[in-house]
Structure 1
Amino acid sequence: MTPELRARQLIDQRLMEAGWQVQDYRTLNLGASAGVAVREYPTDTGPADYVLFVDRHAVGVIEAKRDEAGENITVAEDQTSRYANATLKWRSSDLPLPFLFEATGQIIRFTDGRDPVPRSREIFHFFRPQQLAEWLAEPAQPNTLRRRLAQQMPDLPAQNLRDCQVGAVTGLEESLALAKPRALIHMATGAGKTFTAITAMYRLLKFAGARRILFLVDTRNLGQQAHQEFMAYTPPDDARKFTELYNVQRLASASIDPHAQVCISTIQRMYSILSGEPMDDSAEDISLSEVRQTGKQQKLVRYNPQVPIETFDFIVIDECHRSIYNLWKQVLDYFDAFLVGLTATPDKRTFGFFNENIVAEYTYEQSVADGVNVGYDVWEIETEVTRAGAELKAREWVDHRDRATRAKRWAETEEDTLYTGKELDRSVVNPSQIRQVILAMKTAVETQIFPARQETPKTLIFAKTDSHADDIIHCVREVYGQGNAFCRKVTYSEKEADSVLQAFRNDYHPRIAVTVDMIATGTDVKPLEVLLFMRDVRSKGYYEQMKGRGVRSLSADKLRSVSASADGAKTRFVLIDAVGVEKSCKTETRSLERKPGQSLKDLLQGVALGHRDDDTVLSLANRLVRLARLLDAKQQARIEKHSGGAPVSELGRALIAALNPDAIQQAALAAAQAAGITRSADTLTQQEITAARNARVAAACAAFDKPELRDEIESIRREREQIIDHVNLDTVNFSGYSGQAETQAQQTVQAFRDYIAAHKDEIAALSFFYAQPYQRRALTFDMIEELHEALSRPPLMLTTERLWSAYARVQQAQVQGAGIRRQLTDLVSLVRFAIGLDGELRPFSEAVDKRYADWIWRHNAKRATAFTPEQMEWLRLMKEHIATSCSIGREDFDYAELASRGGLQKAWAVFGKEIDALMVEMNGELVA
């Protein structure tokens, strides 16, 4: 079968799935169906591949191309347009056909010629004939959604809205007016993201004529919370509630109400609907930040006629964390809808996924300054067992507990058992360790943190597992001498979790709640004043979400309604760290360190002497922000005594804010206006911008003119360094390299990052990591060779060996295998590290080995029988080929060691028909 014929068959199949009847021109029967696709329809410029008829009227054209056309399908747009504007035989109208498609067997692109600025976009499947008929039947033709969005929206009433919420809604509407397909709203936890989203959705439904909007959430609990907010929302221009004006459905099955105008669903349920993968309802109770996607979930989304691609006009993704970038991304690829992300904790992938279209940005620091949120203090608790672990000798009589049933038996240990702090409450439970942490928390809260309180402040404890939560609850009740109501568990496994959570928000009891997952993200408990971490968190974003449970501000009256002895409004919360979570989780979202070879003392002296370049200012800011996290209250007070009351963290943030380009531009405009000069952002001179920048930096640096402040900061740094150097070796990251060699290494790394950012759309290997839809991801050795060739040419001359050496100098602690000879495939690791997908740079072969070991373990765990020794040997050979070639396919069995072992024929004899599925799974697991 030729590629052209194969593509035509797949196009025919997709058309029929969408409800079209496909006919040849010689045998056409336009009365056979409401929607007819006619092949090879004659026009005055030649036969069109397909002409689409709805209710006997020609409405669109499809230009078919063979699959090999791939991404170059856009070159066919001129051809499609020519047919759409041609004269069709027996057609009386001479108006252009409005709906234009280009398609291969794999890709479909669509252009609506009625849009104000017609622009093609990739769609998952063809639209149904009914949808095209509905669009054509809209009044005031042409009146497409994008045309309505481009029109001036009514002014947004500002009452009951914070400034940040007004800016977010306005920014989103401006983005939609330009038909930008993706938009990101970055708002701090507690700033009212859901309220902002509902306001925007109300305006889209009322003024833009949106038909249906999908509101995607992470867990069932957050879906319930969002539904309550929809029911409570009253728009500014109508006295009725949102749910009285529009039908809101919270999906609990695969059925979407045809009358629903807003659907609330977890992304897990929507994936289940579209993939046909059965879903246990309990899957909606676990945050996707807690779930690692494995080979168990490999079904691809497929077309569902009951939920066509045009079902939703907009998809609002609440807390758009890492879950949307992997398997679940297919849900977003499926629908032909604008995507709007809401998050308090974006990372590089978030910005990349939303095309760097940030329509609103409201940081946690801004929210604290505005009184929307409260700041926090960190209190550390460390026990000896937490730090060093312990050892149980053989033949000790101890309890042995079944993890699932909690049943105990009293028995001797069979062997010496040495365990670390990380194994606590998983393989080993030490009741004394839990008791000592709870005792230390109780003493600290009652004597130092909240000494004037008569009752225990509302406290949330994060546990590792469900059984760990039970152990904590029993210990809390014992240590505090309180009954069952005082401390309760709030996890998805508890039948009364919702009622306990409601009481925790509004009632006196419980005073302390213990959770594993249910209150980790998004759930609102404003009276919280203490968070105790008894579990570590690897994900920076998830950790920020967990911290966000305590940031909500609360008035004095409302706080006293649950904590009667509170002496005023909630002004802070305290994070009690019992596992080192603050040290293990770095919270900076970008690297500010530009001069790692210079000491803090030199940076302070340089700023005082007038060295105000960006690198110096940002490096000083970075050191101060990092130092602030290490200081106790007495050390903070010593600095504030000489800084005019400004905390060291505020001194650092002021330096960063001084270099904000938007703020510099506004300052330059204000200065020009004050001088009587008319300027716009486009007409500002470089001299005016530089003057504004220098004025802002000078103001932020003024505090460091005081020698006593510089001396105090350096003195405290030395005190802290002695402790940090003794306990935490991470402080040597920035030592050991200096002078010209270090500068050259930094320049090499920066040149590589700049090249990736500038050429990510031109180099196939970079496109793989940035923007490929889930179902078309593939990385080949040819792509890596293409990238290597581009990098190694003048003027860059960036060979893999040189890049690795540069990273080893600049970020030594994060680079593994610096002394071994590099392979070409190590470029994969370099790119992943440079764009932030990997936190550690290690040789590609080592990364493949680690992923292979994890994959084998998971695969054997779910098989009735493990792989045989012969199968394991073949899998090892396949893994080695992937490590040197980035992928494996049938054709690769003709090369090297695979061929010498019998090639594909032998592999087929060993694995049978499972061989193809194994290759697909290994390519996905070991490379991406």
Structure 2
Amino acid sequence: MNKKDLSERDICTKFINPSIKSAGWDIDTQVREEVGFTDGRIYVRGKLHTRGAQKRADYILYYKPNIPIAVIEAKDNKHTVGAGIQQALDYAETLEIPFVFSSNGDGFIFHDRTITSGQIESELDLDSFPSPETLWEKYKAYKGISEEAASIVSQDYFSDGSGRSPRYYQQIAINRTVEAVAKNEGDNRHILVMATGTGKTYVAFQLIYRLWKSGIKKRILFLADRTSLIDQTVRGDFRHFKDAMTVIKHKQIDTAYNIYLALYQGLSDNKNPDNDAYKQFSSDFFDLVIVDECHRGSAREDSKWREILEYFKGATHIGLTATPKETKVVSSSEYFGDPLYTYSLKQGIDDGFLAPYKVIKVTLDIDAEGWRPPKGFKDKDGQEVEDRIYNRTDFDKHIIVEERRQLVAQKITEFLKGSDRFSKTIVFCVDIEHAEGMRKALANANPDLVSANSKYVMQITGDNKEGKDQLDAFIHPAETYPVIATTSKLMTTGVDAQTCKLIVLDSNIGSMTEFKQIIGRGTRINEDYGKHYFTIMDFRSVTALFADKDFDGDPVRVKEAGENDDISSTDEESDDSPITDKLTGDDIEFLEPETPDITLDEEGAEYGKKRKVTVNGVEVTVIKERVQYMGGDGKIITESLRDYTRKNVRTSYSSLDAFLMSWREADKKRAIVEELEQHGVLFAALQDEVGSAFDPFDLICHVAFEQKPLTRKERADNVKKRNYFTKYGDLARTVLDSLLDKYADDGLLDLENPAIITLDPIKRLGTAPEIVRAFGGKPAYDAAIRELTNELYHSA
């Protein structure tokens, strides 16, 4: 056996597997091969999308199922033993794995990431691979894990036998938190920052399960401030807690459970503090408090809700949020400290776990230029409109221009008609009245579908019972109606809208926290229902916030410790107070407790403060509309499909000669096409724009390198003119001629398909064995196909 002739997979089977097995690793429980740990980024252009390649490690070794401890990158024996080390280090950095190996079957290069001085890399022969216990001892020393903490850290995840396990970033978040709690180094407040749609509740479930089962935390409180968050949690992963779990309702306390879920509102009494339900527990009753969406109510240090956390201050407090809040008024980091772990929207999209987005920016003339009423202009009530210039921040907040609302509804409807009129859509409005008005405008813009089902468009706001009753139906992927939901703040957070494909921004959003939460409504992927990406239609230039350095960066504390907060501050970050609602089955007011003297709508704005002026007869037009995409660096870009393709191709092929050389040398041209697709090149979209008669080769040469393209028919005719296949017999010549016709009709990829001779029109010429025999056997037939392919691109 010549080791140089073995494939990479053979090297794994014959050399690497026996080596790690003899070192004491259990191949069945501690070793996973070819582990894909990302899903592959989704690329979007126009109405089309494609997935990039997964990141895939050849081996990940686990001390326990929850503790990945080593990564191995394998290469065939034509490579050096250390050829895979840089790739393995890249994976190890992402996965937070300390021990890194590369092998070609001759031995190993071992890179120890726990070493900060001295020899980091060493060579090992096949008989010297370290045992699980050896690496575990080094791991514990590196992490500062004592023997007492080790049993907690190594506690297994919950498993229901379905095979579901945490994604790599969830595993990191859970493990970091368990380690921090187990080490108990005096800091009992922690925060995890994870983008919307990345499974914070699942992380909370596994975190609670491991800490509970290890015995370090016996009674746990999960706190939320919205009914929907509790309902989704109980129905979701927390259902596995079964009889150990209870939801606190009607302020009735039963101390016989281990896991408690509660609303702040269910534990406190804003009107009579003596009736606060949480005081029925002793202050040391809970060992662990999980605070969901911790950037909201409890974040403000003088809030009634913060009192609950202070009462249970002896417990470990863990905050969960996609958007930690750092303003002059509120500081998440002041209470919880810096994040133990952050998994951002950009990273989630890069990994393919979150849906990317495209932006359609629509600029209306009165928004861009302002509107000034003519002298003596009267509103619909017959009162003269104040003479001043009204701009984008005034519309729908102070003044209603009916034609503006109608045009916005028209543009939304045009988009849906051009894609899918049953795409779940959320329209974010200025306030409840605006949401009500947009519902009417959209109903009038879609009379055919509304007459078929009145729930096609619905107002879903905090004050509207009929709309709120349909929230679950809107969220559920299998429910068709409602299709369009108009809202203001109710659906900014805590709404798991898996199939939302269109988010409309018609509200003046200045809060980065609120903006991130709104974008999060569209980031979930649901491939079963065709949801791979989503579109943001922006009428208020809100998406300019994408360019803000804070959009996907780490929050910076701007509140001074101990500062006396002014709760009347007009800082826009304070606008996301919880909405007026009622807990399902309870009589608990869902009202921000620290504002007892005014009645709030769901935006925190006062009812009846000032009437809105309503006008009509104003001409409103669209002056600009452009489409933008999220680039690979996370930035919003405006570029044509051709520019996008050119840039992506040239990252792989710096010149036309480099591309032509790879094309000539490739055994299968399909491999090059698939590689380019994984880098985001959308050939179907290019064919729509450049022409469907061109194959991928000519599309690339034309768009990326400015060469004159030939159609497939022109290429096929050129081969026939050269008449290169006179050396073949009659049947073989006829087959090749038919294959050229097939190529002209269907393209290169079908020509490379071995089954093509079983398809029309070739199969009419004879059976597959007869056709292969006409060429002198299978090797000769394969050679003829390669030669035919080369002839097609002979002129290039």
TM-score, reference length from structure 2: 0.48
Q: Which of structures 1 and 2 has the larger relative contact order (alpha carbons within 8 angstroms, sep 6+)?
A: 2
Q: TM-score, normalised by structure 1?
A: 0.41
